[in-house]
Amino acid sequence: MLTVTLIPGDGIGPEVVEAAVRVVEATGVPVQWERFEAGTEVMNKYGTPLPDEVFNSVLRTRVALKGPITTPIGTGYSSPNVMLRKRLNLFANVRPAKNLPGVRTRYEDVDLVVIRENSEDLYSGLEHIVVPGVVESLKVITERASLRIARFAFEYAVKHGRRKVTAVHKANIMKLSDGLFLECCRRVARDYPQIEYEELIVDNTCMQLVTRPERFDVMVMENLYGDIISDLCAGLVGGLGLTPSANVGEDGIVVYEAVHGSAPDIAGRNLANPIALIFCAAMMLDDQGQQEAAERVRRGVYRVLSEGKVLTRDLGGTATTTEITDAIIAAMEQPSASPA
């Protein structure tokens, strides 16, 4: 029996997480869920958006499926998502973006993975007012974290049969911080002669992503660039409703969550696309040695997308979250002999 910490989060979180749970249950893989509330309402009740019991559960189960959690903009408490990554030492964020059958986009043959450093950079939370009207935010880049993420990216490439790693940077301007990051990537690259290595400045990367995205394979970058570029990559393959991610720790803890946020504009209306979270669940099943179940989940999603009859609004359809989830579960039941 697999035990998984379940954090539905807030906004559309509970809706899409519920959908993913239903899909996992439909695979027949026995899972015991340890369910914990987190987010705005929990903050109002307990004074923290992420109570200690959530961390304790993840430390015990070592695997979590998480919905998005709202972060107040400009004021209020710090991001619970960043807090979770920091406290659990989830240093690597893996964000695959791949064209999907039936999802029409401007691009073909996109199949890339953004590996985002999760623990430092401008997300250090170190900000202060120097004098009224002047604010400093500290960008922290360390050799240790840069070597660690570079090694992770190359190991990922080897494990997943990828050919190339692109280090994304702005070392022409931030010569010390991004310079250190780049130097670490170069050092690690030397240990992997079988993997092609290239370096690209972040602005050029954006331009090339929207002109020739198929040229990219594994991309490794600091936290802020990774945050922005992975949303851009989600846009290349059909939007935020389709892209999963995994936050990976040094000691093997993994928290799976969609790239998207809590989408307050559509929350509570059964309109959210649950596929990103369902793909998260498939990644989780894969990592837990349940490849066959993961494959069934993906096949179910591909079938529904290819048929194009039951799609949520973000994909141009009118289906609700519940309806598309029902359709995916029904498609998973079909024999694999008739691929979509």
Q: Is the Cβ of residue 205 or residue 245 nearer to ligand NAI in the bound state?
A: 245
Q: Annotated catalytic residue: which of 52, 175, 191, 203?
A: 203
Q: Annotated catalytic residue: which of 10, 86, 123, 314?
A: 123
d(CA 227, CA 225): 5
Which residues contact ligand NAI (rule: CB under 6 A)? 12, 16, 68-71, 81, 240-241, 257, 260-266, 272-273, 276, 314
DSSP H or E run through 33: strand 31-35
Least distance (Å) from ligand NAI to the CB of residue 169?
23
Q: Annotated catalytic residue: which of 227, 256, 302, 314?
A: 227
d(CA 159, CA 157): 6
Catalytic annotation on 107? no
Q: Is the Cβ of residue 187 or residue 313 nearer to ligand NAI in the bound state?
A: 313
Catalytic annotation on 203? yes
Nearest residue by C-beta to ligand NAI? Answer: 261
Residue 298 sits at the vertex; the CA angle it makes with 215 and 205, to the nearest 5 degrees, is 20
Least distance (Å) from ligand NAI to the CB of residue 313?
7
Residue type, 339: P
Spatial CB neighbours of 68, under 8 Å, sequence gap ≥ 6: 9, 10, 11, 12, 13, 81, 257, 258, 260, 261, 262, 263
Q: Is the Cβ of residue 213 or residue 274 nearer to ligand NAI in the bound state?
A: 274
Catalytic annotation on 86? no
d(CA 322, CA 170): 43
Catalytic annotation on 52? no
Q: Which residues pair with 65 in a beta bridge?
A: 6, 256
Asked if residue 69 lies in contact with residue 262, where contact means CB atoms within 8 angstroms, the answer is yes
Least distance (Å) from ligand NAI to the CB of residue 244?
11
Q: Is the Cβ of residue 16 or residue 150 nearer to ligand NAI in the bound state?
A: 16
d(CA 6, CA 8): 6
Q: Annotated catalytic residue: which of 10, 170, 197, 314?
A: 170
Least distance (Å) from ligand NAI to the CB of residue 147?
26
Q: Annotated catalytic residue: which of 231, 256, 302, 314?
A: 231
Least distance (Å) from ligand NAI to the CB of residue 7?
9
Q: Is the Cβ of residue 8 or residue 300 nearer to ligand NAI in the bound state?
A: 8
Helices 291-307 + 13-27 axis angle, to 10: 120
Catalytic annotation on 123? yes
Q: Is the Cβ of residue 29 or residue 263 nearer to ligand NAI in the bound state?
A: 263
Least distance (Å) from ligand NAI to the CB of residue 112?
20
- The secondary structure of 222-278, three-state, reads CHHHHHHHHHHHHHHCCCHHHCEEEEECCCCCEEEEECCCCCCCCCCCCCCCCHHHH
CA-derived radius of gyration, the chain: 20
Burial of 1 (0-12, 13-18, 19+ CB in 10 A): exposed
Active site residues: 123, 170, 203, 227, 231
